[in-house]
Structure 1
Amino acid sequence: MAKRLVAIGDSFTEGVGDWEPRLPNGVRGWADRVAKQLGKADPAWEYANLAIRSRRLRGIVEEQIEPALALEPSVITFYAGGNDLLEFRQDVPALLEEYSRAVARLCASGAQVLLFTGFDIPLPPLLEPMRRRNQVFNAHVRELAAHHGATLVDYWSWEVYRDRRMWDTDKLHMNRAGHRYLAIRVLEILGVEHQLAFEPFGPAERVPARQALVRDIEWARQWVFPMFGRRMRGVTLGDELSPRWPHPISPADGMKKLYRKRRQDAIAG
């Protein structure tokens, strides 16, 4: 079996928040960073990333799982369900059942499967029920990982992500530092030597309560209300996007170089 990493999921795996216009969909992300280090450790590694932002679990199951397995991955990463948990009306038991079936299908392939818990993102009181859903979902992910022998990436438990400097301005996606740190942890879990480094932040700036409240209100106006508005209209930020790396590439050849050639070929014809 080829050494092949295949990543599937939503914006978390696509790389949203780690902005890079010289790469597909304008992002980089932790999965690209992991793939690059795998390629440095062994040029035989190949990589595909089928994740698209805003995808719910059903879309990931229907659009990504079988194409991913058809690539015969040796390692497959699976993060899904976060967008579903943000729905006001969500049948959580049904969601857990669908997630369970997806995990069973992936693990039956013989690939090493990485499952991720979701981080405990601070939410305003209005969205507190969604936080409790996340706790239930994470407990289920842990149980499934143990049952199927999958590799657990317990993102929930990493205190470093409580620092707002690990997050993009929407507070829902990691920024470049957050993606880099996650890549380091995934590489460590895989037992791969790497050249990535993460410099700890200095002391966090203390924000007065009134200023913090104003900031939270502005955040809700800019990000939360538009997100739920899109959901009500049935549109998502990923509707016009395609998978970033739908076919296996060799990270050792340089991903920016590969993307530049892909664009040139598309223009030519």
Structure 2
Amino acid sequence: MSEYRRYVALGDSFTEGVGDADASRPNGLRGWADRVAEQLDSRTTDFRYANLAVRGRLLDRIVSEQVDTAVGLAPDLVTIYAGGNDMMRPKFDVDALVSRYDDAIGALTATGATVVMFTAYDAGWSPVFGKLRGRNAVYNELVREVADRHGARIVDFWRFDEYDDLRMWDWDRLHMSPLGHRNMATRVLDALGAPHDIEPVHLDAPPQQTKSDERRENLVWAKDFLLPWIGRRVRGTSSGDGVAPKRPELAPIS
């Protein structure tokens, strides 16, 4: 295993840590990337970590705002997830999107850093997000080709069946819960071959719900999350408007 000392995390809400609230941290979030950084920091000296991710960012803004900055930080490890918000837009050109992503990954791997990419999750079970399953599958196959072309590593979220449990997701069913973030940290560290002491996530069978309970929960979710989310799409606004990266510079964990 390589020893990493300069880790830069790029992306959107997935990498920023939305769903894993911690008031003591920048932006009030922890997330899987912070957990990965903590584990790497505990096993090396002079470790530095930056997290440039901002919730709601589309791929083009991730590339324009984060990639050149990351290259300038001379990292030896980069994680990047981009494209998830694009795939939820009504109009979507997957080939053009992945072509831009390909250029960005080429720029990152040219630094000599280890680059870790992610596939999109298979939300086929979801009545709403499951409608995106076909385009997500095509995107994932193209992302795997990009990773192969540039020698990047893949964390294949599409194949992680443990996320079929709603307890791995926050109340909005779009962002991971603290358990989901903790599990993702182990998946990333395992992909790097990095030792860690994060406690594995083991879930008992979920409690049984009546159809009435499910309908009530679905109505609350639609009112509190889905309708406001659709409203932002219509208005052209983003949850990330006015949000700054939580760790814009390479700096010690503490």
TM-score bracket for this pair, using the shorter chain length? over 0.9
Q: Where does 1:124-163 land on structure 2 (aligned, <5 Å)?
A: 124=127, 128-163=130-165
TM score, norm. by length of structure 2: 0.94
Q: Can you give the 5+ residue segments of structure 2 that lack an aligned partner in the other structure? A: none
1:237 to 236, 239, 251: 239
Quick one: distance in 2 between partners of 1:136 and 1:247?
34
CA RMSD of aligned residues (A): 1.6
Partners of 1:53 and 1:237 within 8 A in 2 = yes
Q: Could you report, residue by residue, the CA deviation over 1:66-100 in whole angstroms, capped at 9, with x for unpaired residues? A: 00110000010110000000001222222122222
Structure 1: which amino acid aligns with 2:77?
V
Partner of 1:106: 108
Quick one: distance in 1 between partners of 2:48 and 2:70?
13
Partners of 2:4 and 2:77 within 8 A in 1 = no
Quick one: distance in 2 between partners of 1:183 and 1:2?
15
Quick one: distance in 2 between partners of 1:2 and 1:134?
31
**After alignment, is 116-125 or 132-141 more displaced?**
116-125
Quick one: distance in 2 between partners of 1:147 and 1:4?
24
Q: Where does 1:24-173 land on structure 2 (aligned, <5 Å)?
A: 24-121=26-123, 122-124=125-127, 128-173=130-175
Q: What secondary structure, in the 3-state scheme, does the structure 1 residue paired with 2:85 have? A: helix
Q: CA deviation at 1:211?
A: 2.8
Partners of 2:48 and 2:252 within 8 A in 1 = yes
Partners of 2:88 and 2:132 within 8 A in 1 = yes
Partners of 1:52 and 1:242 within 8 A in 2 = yes
Are residues 199 and 90 of structure 1, via their aligned partners in 2, closer, same or farther at CA, if it must alter by over 3 Å? closer
Q: CA deviation at 1:193?
A: 1.6
Partner of 1:10: 12
Structure 2: which amino acid aligns with 1:214?
R
Partners of 1:181 and 1:198 within 8 A in 2 = yes
Structure 2: which amino acid aligns with 1:123?
S
Structure 2: which amino acid aligns with 1:219?
W
Q: Can you give the 5+ residue segments of structure 1 that lack an aligned partner in the other structure? A: 255-269
Quick one: distance in 2 between partners of 1:213 and 1:174?
22
Alignment of 1:203 with 2:205, yes or no, is yes
Q: CA deviation at 1:140?
A: 1.0
Partner of 1:226: 228
**After alignment, is 181-190 or 217-226 more displaced?**
217-226
Partners of 2:6 and 2:49 within 8 A in 1 = yes
Q: What secondary structure, in the 3-state scheme, does the structure 2 residue paired with 1:41 have? A: coil
Quick one: distance in 2 between partners of 1:220 and 1:124?
11
Q: What secondary structure, in the 3-state scheme, does the structure 2 residue paired with 1:197 have? A: coil
Q: CA deviation at 1:228?
A: 1.7
Task: Count how many residue pairs are aligned between Structure 1 and Structure 2.
Answer: 251
Structure 1: which amino acid aligns with 2:38?
K
Partners of 1:41 and 1:192 within 8 A in 2 = no
Q: What secondary structure, in the 3-state scheme, does the structure 2 residue paired with 1:220 have? A: helix
Partners of 1:43 and 1:250 within 8 A in 2 = no
**After alignment, is 229-238 or 91-100 more displaced?**
91-100
Alignment of 1:176 with 2:160, yes or no, is no
Quick one: distance in 2 between partners of 1:13 and 1:199?
19
Quick one: distance in 2 between partners of 1:86 and 1:214?
25
Quick one: distance in 2 between partners of 1:54 and 1:218?
22
Structure 2: which amino acid aligns with 1:103?
I
